[in-house]
Amino acid sequence: MDLRERRGVPGSVLKWVAIITMFIDHAAVVLVYGWAKYNHAWGPGIESVKFYYVLRGIGRLGFPLFCFLLVEGFFHTRSRWKYLLRLFLFALFSEIPFDLAFQETWKNLKEPGASFWTRIGLEFGDQNVFFTLALGLLAVILWDLLTRGGEEDCGSWRGLAAIVCALALGTAAHYMETDYGAMGVALILMMYLLHDRPWSRDLAAGGVLAAMIPFGSHWIELFGALAFPLFHLYNGKRGRQMKYFFYIFYPAHLLLLTLIGRLCLRPGPAEHIQSLIDAVNRFFGF
């Protein structure tokens, strides 16, 4: 019996870690960074929000974990196409909450002469991570279909077609400006291709994270490598079922953070937030 079948943690535990770290990351962006902008405090050498980077560093674990679980889901789901359809549907469902939270489209809801899309809080500049996950899964599905004949097909037109499809989907993610973009699709595909070679997978995934930096990402993306040891704890089992929890939690927590931000980022509550930030800074010695 495979050692992973006897020891380690199920996928549900890894999903909880991914959800919690994602929430921490988004809270840092919407609340801490939002507070800094409200107070015109953001800039080089800022003292009051140094722990923002601590929170974002913790949050970097989320996306690699979701990619890992996505690939495991590909191998274990009963219907890959239904899995893909769910991702695309919830990508559409989550876009307005995503824009309200990160693009602050709530500021323009009542703008005179605003378009219908603006009035419902929709913005087309950036797309949520569900689109990245869906495009990555589609790349994996197409690669699997086109190269299913075996290794010999990788040198044939089928292998070439698989590469072209993957590049096309990565390009789509780039121009759609989805979260993590083409590199997110590449990370998912790499985890699929090296699924049975975990150490090579980790090395390749680290390379993808590093490659994000020249494409406009912050060096803090490298903290995503801290998720790699958790991959090796996975025991190959699903654990407690939470099939639709993440699909609902994602847009719900974005709406919640938006609401908290709107309530708190005002003169009275903002003073209490400053006191909380100062306390956290003292605790961590910033």
Its domain, for residue 214, covers: 3-284
Please, which residues have CB within 8 angstroms of residue 182's CB and are 6 or more apart in sequence?
Answer: 170, 171, 173, 174, 215
**Average of per-residue pLDDT across 193-214:** 92
**Average of per-residue pLDDT across 243-247:** 84
Task: Look at the chain and report how many structural domains it folds into.
Answer: 1
- Helix and strand numbers, DSSP H then E, in the chain: 14, 0
Quick one: which H or E segment has residue 143? helix 129-146
Please, which residues have CB within 8 angstroms of residue 270's CB and are 6 or more apart in sequence?
Answer: 35, 38, 39, 264
Q: Is the pLDDT of residue 174 over 50?
A: yes
Torsion angle in degrees (nearest 10) through CA of 218, 221, 222, 224: 170
Q: Is the pLDDT of residue 215 over 70?
A: no
Q: What is the pLDDT of residue 218?
A: 76
The whole-model pTM stands at 0.85
Q: What is the pLDDT of residue 86?
A: 95
Q: Report the chain's terminal Cα–Cα distance, integer Å.
A: 49
Q: Which residues of 146-157 are buried (b: 16+ CB within 10 A; e: fewer)?
A: bbeeeeebeeee
**Average of per-residue pLDDT across 75-103:** 92
Q: What is the pLDDT of residue 3?
A: 42
Closest by CA position to 220, among listed 2, 68, 92, 28? 28
Q: Is the pLDDT of residue 221 over 80?
A: yes
For residues 279 and 286, what is the distance between their CA atoms, to the nearest angstrom?
10
Q: Is the pLDDT of residue 276 over 80?
A: no
Q: Is the pLDDT of residue 4 over 50?
A: no
- Separation in Å, CA 181 to CA 132, 160, 264: 7, 22, 31
**Average of per-residue pLDDT across 191-212:** 94
Q: What is the pLDDT of residue 149?
A: 59
Q: What is the pLDDT of residue 44?
A: 44
